[in-house]
Amino acid sequence: MFCPKPRGECPGASSWDHSPDVREETAMHDHRRLGRELELFDTDPLIGAGLPYWLPDGAAVRHALEEYVRAAERRAGYRHVYSPVLGKRELYEISGHWSHYSDDMFPPMELGAEQVVLRPSLCPHHALIYRSRSHSYRELPLRMAELGGMYRSELSGVLGGLTRVRAIQLNDAHIFCTPDQVADEARGALEMIRRAYEALGITRARYRLSLPGPGGKYVAGPEMWRRSTALLTEVLDRSGLPYETAEGEAAFYGPKIDVQVADGAGRESTLSTVQVDFHQPERFDLHYIGADGAKHRPVMVHRSVVGSVERAVAHLIEQHGGAFPAWLAPVQLVILPVSEAELPDAEALARRCAGLDLRAEIAGPERGSLGARVREARLVPYQVVIGAREAAVGEVTLRLRGGRRLDPLPAADVLARVGALVGAHGTRLWDDAVPAKA
């Protein structure tokens, strides 16, 4: 359980997690400033605007997030694919992107007699992968996932940090299914989103049913729009989630459920999405063989659990003020030998952490007094102090981010319990219910 109040104002439960005071100072700040200060990502004018690179600590956060998503998808029956970030112009003419979305696409590159385009979405590639093999109704729903690159030709004036970028890594998936399976698949996707937000500590999110609006950017087909809107409305109504409808926010090929989050300045953006698409299966002439032996048209459900990793990490930086849930933190444990004499014990503990896939770092006495080192590591979830007395008996003194200090525990117990909490992808830093001696 996480208590949003400053530690001093906590209503009671001492086992609740508190982020350090720095959270109150920085939570509402811009992820761009924090990203630089915490050395998570940066940009270089020679690489270009809207093309950030990830520093090792940022890459560790991103890797943890991507692995969480891939594992959740594997458990939910998705199969992962890889597809190239380029495609021929004809591909996007068929998908409809060329006529409905070209303002957001990079200009095509001439390659001999061909034109190739940096892809604006992964859907056309996935439709072709589906089409490359014949499918029986028994294979449906067929859930195809990829954390893949896509590109958006944003104007340089609006670029910044990780939220407005030209190169996007999208947590994407397409579910090819029968019309009867759409509602269950959309519900399953919403449940994955709910669980991910719980793991990520995202507490404020608004659900929106995004419908077409006036203007010509949408594909035609009133019956198709009516059916897909009815399906998503039913899913939302039955979910019990509060939601609002917004006209003019649909994808060009269909309506969608968008999950909206706000940044420190109150600006809203879409993180997660679930979309129903009758259009692209038609355009790509997708089919499956039904129980009757005849060809039938599948529906495509497009869904993203955490959206683009850039926007997701930007939101997590702002939401947590850099004090990430332990499973996401770039450094999960900082090991603090009190003096030079405990350095070998600290190094041995760091090796054990590495062996357990825990990200640990040693902050030795050369980096200042113990108090100064604890302050410097205030965003690290677990601060492990080893003094002469602890070293003699193989124990450590653990401080949790936020200031709580535990009685000395055997180092093996600490690692086992931290490993279990990290592996459970929760937001709490400690569980007093678990016996100290496991």
Where does this chain bind Zn ion (CB under 5 A)? 123, 302
| Measured distance CA(118)–CA(172) in Å, rounded | 17
Rounded to the nearest 10 degrees, what angle do helices 309-320 and 56-75 cross at? 110
CB of 233 to Zn ion, least distance (A): 20
C-beta of 123 vs 328, nearer to Zn ion = 123
CB of 392 to Zn ion, least distance (A): 59
- Report the run of H or E that residue 187 belongs to, with start and end: helix 182-200
CB of 436 to Zn ion, least distance (A): 49
CB of 140 to Zn ion, least distance (A): 17
Question: Contact at 8 Å (CB) between 19 and 380?
Answer: no
Question: What is the arrangement of strands in the sheet containing 268-277, beginning at the earlier edge strand?
Answer: 79-80, 142-151, 167-177, 299-304, 268-277, 256-262, 206-211, 243-247
| Measured distance CA(58)–CA(54) in Å, rounded | 6
C-beta of 227 vs 302, nearer to Zn ion = 302
C-beta of 124 vs 402, nearer to Zn ion = 124
| Measured distance CA(284)–CA(336) in Å, rounded | 59
**Among candidates 379, 374, 265, 373, which has minimal Cα distance to 321?**
379
**Among candidates 175, 173, 124, 121, which has minimal Cα distance to 288?**
175
CB of 108 to Zn ion, least distance (A): 21
Helix/strand/coil for 56: helix
Question: Contact at 8 Å (CB) between 53 and 44?
Answer: yes
- Name residue, tokens 């003020």: 321
Question: Contact at 8 Å (CB) between 58 and 77?
Answer: no
| Measured distance CA(40)–CA(42) in Å, rounded | 7
C-beta of 279 vs 302, nearer to Zn ion = 302
C-beta of 170 vs 196, nearer to Zn ion = 170
Residue positions counted in the chain: 438
C-beta of 302 vs 378, nearer to Zn ion = 302
CB of 64 to Zn ion, least distance (A): 25
C-beta of 23 vs 100, nearer to Zn ion = 100
Cis amide linkage into residue 141, ω under 30° from 0: yes
- What is the identity of the amino acid at 336? L
Quickly list DSSP for 339-403: SGGGHHHHHHHHHHHHHTT--EEE--GGG--HHHHHHHTTTSSEEEEE-HHHHHHTEEEEEETTS
Q: What share of residues in the chain are helix, strand, coil (percent, to 5)?
A: 40, 25, 40
CB of 123 to Zn ion, least distance (A): 3
CB of 302 to Zn ion, least distance (A): 3
Instruction: For residue 169, give Cα distances in angstroms to 19, 125, 143.
Output: 29, 15, 19
Question: Contact at 8 Å (CB) between 330 and 359?
Answer: yes
CB of 308 to Zn ion, least distance (A): 13
Pairing assessment for the beta strands 409-410 and 395-400 based on DSSP bridges:
antiparallel
C-beta of 300 vs 421, nearer to Zn ion = 300
C-beta of 312 vs 334, nearer to Zn ion = 312
CB of 155 to Zn ion, least distance (A): 24
C-beta of 276 vs 331, nearer to Zn ion = 276
CB of 127 to Zn ion, least distance (A): 9
C-beta of 23 vs 302, nearer to Zn ion = 302
- What is the identity of the amino acid at 191? E
CB of 69 to Zn ion, least distance (A): 16
C-beta of 123 vs 200, nearer to Zn ion = 123
